[in-house]
Amino acid sequence: MSFLESAKQYTGSDLDTIFFRPILSGPSAGDLGVRVLYNMPVPTTIQLWEGQGNILRKYTSAGWSGGKAANKLQKTISLGRVKAELGFSAADYFSLVYEKIAARADVNMDDLSGTELEQAETALFKSAIAEGIRATMWIGDTAASSGYNTFDGFLKTITAGVDQEKFYNTVYEASELADPAKIVDILDNLWTNANERIQDQKAGGQLAFFVTSDIYYAYEKYLDSKSADAAYLATTEGRPTLAYHGIPLVDVRLGSYLGDTAFPKSFCLLTDRRNLVLAVNTADFPGNEVRMWYNPDLMENRQRAVFMAGCDLLDETMLTYAYHA
């Protein structure tokens, strides 16, 4: 266990390449289902350009007829400094790390190097950080006294938008969830009541229904009821993804988190993926680091990460929302 007692600190480029970039870029970022901005300058500001609707003019003579300049919209993503900490008893920690190593086929268990142990420690902590960011991105509430309160999540902004009637929203009943066929009505209702700007984005392939697991499962049951060979095959082997009229359903996987919040326990949200923005920064603030060390007094292995994170909706009018309390 001596290798696990060696303190490790990651800052600068190591913090970027070893810890955060792998979980916030590429396929890992795609798994989040939203737009991810990593290490953009703080404050993280997004420029939104809205061009003129009709820029064509008759070409009858020389001169300039370009009209007024394009509208420039600006949105600032507020980032808060957050800290992630884990502590394990030395025996439990070694068992967790050892299990990750033993699962690899290319490791000689009789000759474990410090690098292999370090990779296993890193993977253990990275998975915990990634899940913490994902959950807070949805249910975060800085006004809460405990729980996921490091930065405000999408649901807090959406709930405030419902109160102010900024976008179309509706409430469905528990009886509708009990009938798989009713789920189609919920999805169709969100689509038909979406404004034209949302519907026009369908061709771009970025629209998605973000749904809780109960909606996802009910829609899957509805597809199972179809009398076709494909439905039978999907019932026995499962479906890697679900879609309604070409728009994917994204399971937000929040069932174990929503019970401790004031947010609706079941919801369905239609919007452009790029409208939901998560921003994480590990470079622009002194003291950002990941540290892992052993506390001999308490015989405990500890891990700590310090970084900045935040999320927001770019345009609250670019969504439709259905929920059940």
Secondary structure, 3-state, 182-246: HHHHHHHHHHHCCCHHHHCCHHHCCEEEEECHHHHHHHHHHHHCCCCHHHHHHHHHCCCCEEECC
313 falls within a domain: yes
6-26 pLDDT, tens per residue? 788 888 888 888 888 888 887
Q: How far apart are CA 287 and CA 269, in angstroms?
A: 37
Residues 72-93, mean pLDDT to the nearest whole number: 82
What is residue 178's predicted lDDT score, i.e. its pLDDT?
Answer: 86
What is residue 2's predicted lDDT score, i.e. its pLDDT?
Answer: 45
Confidence of residue 48 (pLDDT cuts 50, 70, 90): low
What is residue 1's predicted lDDT score, i.e. its pLDDT?
Answer: 42
If we measure between CA atoms, which residue out of 297, 306, 290, 303 comes closest to residue 4? Answer: 303
Q: Is the pLDDT of residue 211 over 90?
A: yes
What is residue 18's predicted lDDT score, i.e. its pLDDT?
Answer: 84
Spatial contact of 36 and 25, defined as CB atoms under 8 Å apart: yes
What is residue 62's predicted lDDT score, i.e. its pLDDT?
Answer: 74
What is residue 295's predicted lDDT score, i.e. its pLDDT?
Answer: 87
What is residue 24's predicted lDDT score, i.e. its pLDDT?
Answer: 87
Lowest mean pLDDT among 204-208, 228-232, 291-295: 228-232
What are the beta bridge partners of residue 10?
Answer: 290
DSSP structure string for 24-86: HSHHHHHHHTSEEEESPPSSEEEEEEE--S-------SSS----SPPEEEEEEE--EEEEEEE
64 falls within a domain: no
Confidence of residue 299 (pLDDT cuts 50, 70, 90): confident
If we measure between CA atoms, which residue out of 166, 245, 164 comes closest to residue 199? Answer: 245
Residues 88-107, mean pLDDT to the nearest whole number: 69
Residues 193-203, mean pLDDT to the nearest whole number: 92
What is residue 177's predicted lDDT score, i.e. its pLDDT?
Answer: 86
Question: HSE-up of 129 (CA within 13 Å, CB side)?
Answer: 30
What is residue 146's predicted lDDT score, i.e. its pLDDT?
Answer: 87
Both tokens assigned to 163: 């109160």
**Please, which residues have CB within 8 angstroms of residue 94's CB and are 6 or more apart in sequence?**
1, 4, 301
111 falls within a domain: yes
Number of domains in the chain: 1
What are the beta bridge partners of residue 243?
Answer: 248
Confidence of residue 50 (pLDDT cuts 50, 70, 90): low
56 falls within a domain: no
57 falls within a domain: no
152 in helix, strand or coil?
coil
Confidence of residue 239 (pLDDT cuts 50, 70, 90): low
Q: How far apart are CA 225 and CA 220, in angstroms?
A: 9
239 falls within a domain: yes
Q: Is the pLDDT of residue 111 over 50?
A: no
270 falls within a domain: yes
Confidence of residue 88 (pLDDT cuts 50, 70, 90): confident
Note down the domain range covering 314: 2-51+70-324
Q: Is the pLDDT of residue 72 over 90?
A: no
**Please, which residues have CB within 8 angstroms of residue 51's CB and are 6 or more apart in sequence?**
70, 71
What value does the mean pLDDT of the chain take?
A: 84
Q: Is the pLDDT of residue 99 over 90?
A: no
Q: Is the pLDDT of residue 167 over 60?
A: yes
Q: How far apart are CA 231 and CA 242, in angstroms?
A: 12
59 falls within a domain: no
